[in-house]
Amino acid sequence: MPPFHRKHSDWGADCEGRSFMKQALIQHFTPFGCRNALTIHGRFSIVQRHPERESPKETGGKSMRSLKLAAVLCVLALFIAGSAFAQQMPNPYGPNISLDAAKKVAAAAAKEAANLKINICTAIVDTGGNLVYFERFDVVQWGSIEVAIHKAKASAAYKRPTLALENAVKANVHYLTLDGISAIEGGVPIIENGKIIGTIGVSGGSAVQDGQCAKAGAAMIK
């Protein structure tokens, strides 16, 4: 028999051996990052799995998109802040607050300050920003006198709490160029029967504490 001919039994054993090797290769390579093991005309072609990498162009494109998104968000924030500033309280000005009512407002603010254990100055102005009543705790910094009055006047002039002015300035510092603005919490309109009759300004604690006292005082008038 010519040497290049094989018996049928030998050929079958060889095929079984190849099949066994195929399975062994697949089981060996597949768990270790290979995408697939392909059989082409009885031979193996191992396709390895490579980590997906972004090209510099793709990375630059994503960075540019992120910058554009950040710019859009900044513009949107400025627009929202500007809109909030432009939206003054719809309440019209009413008759000016009386002295007796102003004293009640100041007393409520002082009570809240005592609960917070802080010393404050309290200013009550009418709708034109004119001082109606002022009260100062015995132990308080002198600077809070003018600050309290300024908060009350700004709240009356712009028909909104000074917290709204503070938030507007945080988004756009150019609002500080407006006349008489006080960009810090603590000034609150006093509303009676749906109309603004005056405002209260408080200073002496933190901005949040001042605002809390001013709200407590303004809440005395319905």
pLDDT in tens, 78-117: 555 555 555 789 999 999 999 999 999 999 999 999 999 9
Name the pTM for this structure.
0.64
How many domains would you assign to the chain?
Answer: 2
Same-domain pairing of 131 and 195: yes
DSSP state of 93: B
Looking at the structure, do residues 194 and 128 belong to the same domain, yes or no? yes
Q: Are residues 104 and 213 in the same domain?
A: yes
Q: Is residue 112 part of a domain?
A: yes
**pLDDT for the residue 84:** 54
Q: Is residue 148 part of a domain?
A: yes
Within a domain: residue 138? yes
* Residue 88 pLDDT: 86
Average pLDDT over every residue of 153-165: 96
Q: Write phi, then psi, for 135 (nearest 5 degrees).
A: -140, 135
| Tokens coding 183 | 């960009």
pLDDT at 215 over 60: yes
What is the rounded CA–CA span in Å between residue 52 and residue 101? 73
Give one DSSP letter per residue of 94-123, joined into a string: -SPPPHHHHHHHHHHHHHHHHHHT---EEE
Within-domain flag for 70: no
Nearest to 170, CA basis, from 153, 189, 154, 184? 184
User: Does 89 map to a domain?
Assistant: no
- pLDDT interval class at 125 (50, 70, 90): very high
* CB-CB contact of 116 with 219 (8 Å): no
Q: Does 2 or 176 have the greater pLDDT score?
A: 176
Q: Is the pLDDT of residue 3 over 60?
A: no
Residue 106 buriedness (CB in 10 A; 0-12 / 13-18 / 19+): buried
Closest by CA to 125, choosing from 205, 196, 211, is: 196
> Do 43 and 106 belong together in one domain?
no
Same domain, 19 and 108: no
Residue 67 maps to a domain: no
Q: Residue 27 belongs to what domain range?
A: 8-48
- At residue 92, the pLDDT reads 95
Task: Confirm whether 163 is domain-assigned.
Answer: yes
On whether residue 55 sits in a domain, the answer given is no
CA distance 212 to 167: 17
Per-residue model confidence (pLDDT) at position 36: 46
Q: Based on the domain organization, do 28 and 124 belong to the same domain?
A: no
Arithmetic mean of pLDDT over the chain:
80
Residues 32 and 132 in one domain: no
In 3-state terms, the chain is what percent helix, strand and coil (to 5)? 55, 20, 30
The pLDDT value recorded for residue 110 is 98
Whether residues 116 and 198 fall in one domain: yes
Amino acid 211: pLDDT = 98
